[in-house]
Amino acid sequence: MRRLLNFLYKRREIGVFLVLEILSIWLLVSYNNRYNASFFNSSNQLSGFVSQSSQNVSDYFQLDKINERLMQENELLQEELRRLRISPTAFLDTINRYEVIGARVVANTVNRSSNFLTISAGKKDGIEIGMGIITSSGIVGQVKSVSDNFATVYSLLHPNFLISSMVKRTQTKGTVQWDQADYLHAELKYIPRHIKLKKGDSVVTSGFNSVFPEDILIGIIDEFDLKDQMTFYQTRIQLATDFTSLGQVYAIKDLLKQEKDSLELL
């Protein structure tokens, strides 16, 4: 009897070990379901607050750099505005369709195998799960989960994040996905072999889903390869967004999303 008890006592530790490991694996697997309002992520209040405070300190030491970046962005916007005034009808359909919500990045990774961002805008500011996030230079990601004041965002540098995209010159549709290699490049998939690609072609969003508006720059084609047996090109693009220095980002709210999605369900 005593030996049995000893035996069970020894096994108890292994039991605790197994239970905890299984629990962590379950957490990990359930988190990877694409969109959820999980408590265990960086958009919860405590973690958001800590990241924001830490970001505030580091921002303070880069104020001049941040100012300069905002200035450049203003210049770009001014230019665009002037162009719009010249041809007032060109973007009429998009002007009323998208609403833009500004936010600050409070936490960001680029070196992990799957990267996330935390931004300082949440439900109170109108952020919803599934919204697209852009910056002035290109695509950033898509909202994964949201709390009152913060949101966790799938970075483009996450292997589960796919973007419906288009080679601008040829209007060919494809998909951009990160290949986990480095934060400067991603892969462009499903470009059929009869298309003539060129190095330096720009790749933009297709606007086929209601996450991103049409024609936002994702990157430019850096290198491509076409072997005899391949149906599709193997293409690497250089990303337009510099993920190491993200400061100000914009969430895109598609006001016609529901209408579009309900039509496509039919």
Partner 1 sequence: MNRLSIREQILNFFFLMLIQLPLIHRITLFDQAFGFFYVGFLLLLPVNISRSYLMIIGFFSGLLVDVFSNTPGMHASACVFIMFFRNFWLSFINNDWRELPNLNILFLKTTGFFAFIFPLILVHHLVLFLVENGGFHFFGQIVARSFFSTLFSGLIIFLVNFTCSGNKKKA
225 binds partner 1, rule: CB under 8 A: no
Pick between residue 38 and residue 248 the one whose CB is nearest to partner 1.
38
210 binds partner 1, rule: CB under 8 A: no
The residue behind tokens 């969109």 is 35
Query: Least separation, in Å, of the C-beta of 44 and partner 1?
Result: 7
Residues 38-57 that bind partner 1 (CB under 8 A): 38, 40-42, 44, 46-47, 50-51, 53-54
Is 151 exposed, middle or buried (CB count within 10 Å of its CB: 0-12, 13-18, 19+)?
Answer: buried
Binds partner 1 (CB under 8 A): choice among 8, 25, 37, 77: 25
Query: Least separation, in Å, of the C-beta of 239 and partner 1?
Result: 16
Binds partner 1 (CB under 8 A): choice among 111, 171, 229, 262: 111
246 binds partner 1, rule: CB under 8 A: no
CA 154 to chain centre: 4
62 binds partner 1, rule: CB under 8 A: no
The window from 78-86, 105-113, 196-204, 258-266 that contacts partner 1 (CB under 8 A) reads: 105-113
The window from 81-89, 108-116, 201-209, 215-223 that contacts partner 1 (CB under 8 A) reads: 108-116
- Draw the binding track, 145-174, toward partner 1 (x: CB under 8 A; -: no contact): -------x----------------------
Alpha carbons 17 and 27: distance in angstroms, whole number: 15
- Draw the binding track, 226-245, toward partner 1 (x: CB under 8 A; -: no contact): --------------------
Binding residues for partner 1 (CB under 8 A) = 12-13, 16-17, 20-21, 23-29, 31, 38, 40-42, 44, 46-47, 50-51, 53-54, 58, 107-109, 111-114, 116, 118, 152, 180
